Structure 1
């Protein structure tokens, strides 16, 4: 069964995003986690990301698409995003996992809203939180309680992450117009519809910031 190029692009970018998240979380767990308990907890979350990658890879193959070819257009942009937002410490890594990845995943979720139910359900499944938010929020709040001065620098870091994520999204949309069309169709045709979309994304970001206390 063949799907539209936009659907293959969406599953391809999500698959590479999940594979990248697995690799990044594994590295952060090994190099930045301050305790064995934190290393184990983040490693478990990484395993979940890899399971999501496998679901997406298998669905792409089931649709008659080559998973490697579907992911390859997004490798450069996503690798650049991770290179430009490499965390310097444990708290920055957690904020990136929660805030930086969160706004990107919000875009993917919106793009899938009006797809056929089997694709939309798959996207919802791989974007499920899986305990990531609670893990990040609890540890960031504890870090700020131990060092209140951390709140300011983490707030600046979060703003940088969002800016880089939006820039990355623009690059991907420019390179893959079929994927951009899914987001436009989800938002609606009018300027008011698009404004509501960005208001929704901004509201979700604000809630994440508040949850962490920054």
Structure 2
């Protein structure tokens, strides 16, 4: 069975790159970051965390200079980003593939004079990939998570599952898990603890725990 997933999150610092490395390791998958804004490159970070020798790390479609929202970083670099720029890499069509988004679902990738913007969630729809959503737990995270899940449901995006990342909060997790079970027919794939150090060994440990 081929596994191809888009990785997004409820916020910018939720742990998408760490989770992407875990999934790449678990599936021996190719990895692709369509939009990189600022340094260090997430592609390099994932590559440094993966132990298997089968994964291939693909070139970004856009590599922007400034560490900010893609629409703003693209303006600085005098680059136009359009939804039509994004297609699944041909070399990965029959391979397991992890695609990591930039920021959260509603990070803008462009902004036109007519006031219309495209967002990361539009790239997910364009690529027609199932989504894995990374959810970290903090004051307000229930609201942020369920708002993200509502958008996923309203756009008919297939949710493969969610991954909790960070210090556990059972009461928050129960609310979110109940929502995805009954509203999106999905589940929790993995719970990642608050890790003091992220290493190849940490990645391999969690790669063995994913509940596909």
- TM-score (normalised: structure 1): 0.29
Name the structure with the higher helix share.
1
Name the structure with the higher strand share.
2
- TM-score (normalised: structure 2): 0.29
> Over alpha carbons, which structure has the higher Rg?
1
